[in-house]
A = this chain, B = another copy of it.
């Protein structure tokens, strides 16, 4: 390779991945399957990328597994500055405030990278957030599908602490899963109903 150890792009990229380490300190509202502790956003992002790899055959026609996995690896990085907003605690006002914080976080974090690369990853994050393309909808569906899977394993420990009902899960989570991968919702919804009804 022509790149040396002191190449500015090498320095920018290694600075970015070292900064990304902070995602391991962002604690989510969902526990591990064994309920031993809350999950952090870095291991959650790994888990989602593994979901995408494992469940690729369930993706709608034309979805690129590679783009979905890249989206999922990046999707929570903004939480390093903005924190995690538990889905059952969100209001319209809190979502708008969070969107501004996340936008600034994306500018700062992806701005650590070489310009073109940072712009490309920032665009991929915006695509995920926008949830309009088939790739983004599949990625978002997995992001919504994994917490119910964790709750089913832990007998709903994190749901109970937020007084979550079946109707809340169906509205805030089910809709996004069904829209992209109806059979995954068909798989978990009876188990969720059994836990929360």
Chain A residues at the B interface, C-beta cutoff of 8 Å: 1, 3-7, 9-11, 13-14, 16-18, 20-25, 32-34, 36, 39-40, 42-43, 45-47, 49-51, 53-55, 57-58, 60, 65-66, 69-70, 73-74, 113, 117, 146, 149-150, 153, 181-190
Contact = CB atoms under 8 A, between A and B. Distances in A.
A3 B58 contact: yes
The 3 closest A-B pairs by CB, nearest first: A5-B186, A46-B46, A5-B187
Contacts of A189: 5
A104 to B, nearest CB: 21
A117 B55 CA distance: 10
A36 B46 contact: no
Contact of A55 (B13, B22, B39): B13
Contact of A58 (B10, B16, B50): B10
Given A43-B43, A185-B5, A190-B5, A18 B53 contact: no
Q: Which of A6, A23, A36, A45 has the most CB of B within 10 A?
A: A45
A128 to B, nearest CB: 14
20 contacts: A5-B187, A6-B186, A10-B183, A17-B50, A18-B153, A20-B50, A21-B34, A21-B47, A21-B150, A22-B33, A23-B43, A23-B46, A24-B47, A43-B46, A53-B74, A54-B117, A57-B117, A66-B66, A69-B70, A69-B73
A18 to B, nearest CB: 6
A153 B22 CA distance: 12
A109 B118 CA distance: 36
Contacts of A23: 43, 46
A111 to B, nearest CB: 14
Contact of A186 (B4, B39, B42, B60): B4
